[in-house]
Amino acid sequence: MTATRMQAGDALVIVDVQNDFCPGGALPIAEGDRVVPVLNEWIESALAAGAPVYASRDWHPKGHISFKESGGPCPPHCVQDTEGAQFRSDLNLPDGTIKVTKGTRFDRDQNSAFDGTGLEHHLREHGIRHLYVCGLAQDVCVLATVLDARKLGFEVTVIPGATRAVTPEGGARASKQMREAGAL
């Protein structure tokens, strides 16, 4: 899909394109960095359309409940204020990017950019109806974000080539679930 279709009422939602989720990071997703050039085109398109750009980030306190040291499934990743938690420096996030911070809770993890962040409120306040969603990982946080968006009644397009999965099987399953939920 060429990045030329955005219009009023659309928003670009970039999920967790952070160093730790890319090759060389603490919880790397194969080819996670390959989404960046595609997203940079979509950022241009959003800017041209005057559409807002949202960028979510996993932003864990030290010893977060999702970390192995605390009995969770993950190696420590995206610890607040570390290099690993930074957005990829080659991702051309514009001035005015709206950052959505999640994973800060002490009592449970938050995979969806909608989970306890108030994102729904912000989107509605700004008249957004259609989300173009992309980022990492397709079968974890992108999936959770897309399913929540559909439940809340937003139209959703998952940008082809702008997401990568933890595993190919997980990616296939996530694609199916997102399609069944009505995402394009």
Nearest approach, Cβ of 151 to Zn ion (angstroms)? 21
Q: Which is nearer to Zn ion, 14 or 51 (CB)?
A: 14
Smallest separation, CB 107 to Zn ion (Å): 14
Determine whether 68 is an active site residue.
no
| Residue 148 binding Zn ion, by CB under 5 A | no
String marking each residue 25-44 x if it binds Zn ion according to CB under 5 A: --------------------
- Name the active-site residue from 33, 74, 78, 102: 102
- Cβ atoms of 65 and 109 within 8 Å: the answer is yes
Name the token pair of 27. Answer: 């919880």
95-124 residues in contact with Zn ion (CB under 5 A) are 103
Q: Distance between CA atoms of 19 and 163, rounded to whole angstroms?
A: 15
> Contact region for Zn ion (CB under 5 A) — 48-56, 57-65, 154-162, 166-174?
57-65
Residue 58 in contact with Zn ion, rule: CB under 5 A = yes
> Of residues 16, 20, 33, 148, which has the active-site annotation?
16
Closest distance of CB 29 from Zn ion, Å: 12
CB of 157 to Zn ion, least distance (A): 25
Question: If phi over 0 gives left and psi between -120 and 50 gives alpha, with beta otherwise, what is residue 11?
Answer: beta
- CA atoms of 42 and 53, how far apart (whole Å): 10
139 binds Zn ion, rule: CB under 5 A: no
The residue among 73, 93, 86, 106 whose CA lies nearest residue 134 is 93
The smaller minimum CB distance to Zn ion, of residues 69 and 180, is found at: 69
Side chain identity at 33, as an amino acid letter? Answer: D
Single out the catalytic residue among 20, 78, 141, 148: 141
DSSP string, 96-156: T-EEEEES--SSS---STTTTT-HHHHHHHTT--EEEEEEE-IIIIIHHHHHHHHHTT-EE
Comparing CA positions, the residue from 16, 45, 13, 42 lying closest to residue 126 is 13
Give catalytic status of residue 99 as yes or no.
Answer: no
Told to judge if 176 belongs to the known catalytic residues of this protein, a careful annotator would answer no
Rounded distance between C-alpha atoms, residue 150 and residue 163, angstroms: 18
Catalytic residues: 16, 102, 141
* Site residues (vs Zn ion, CB under 5 A): 58, 103
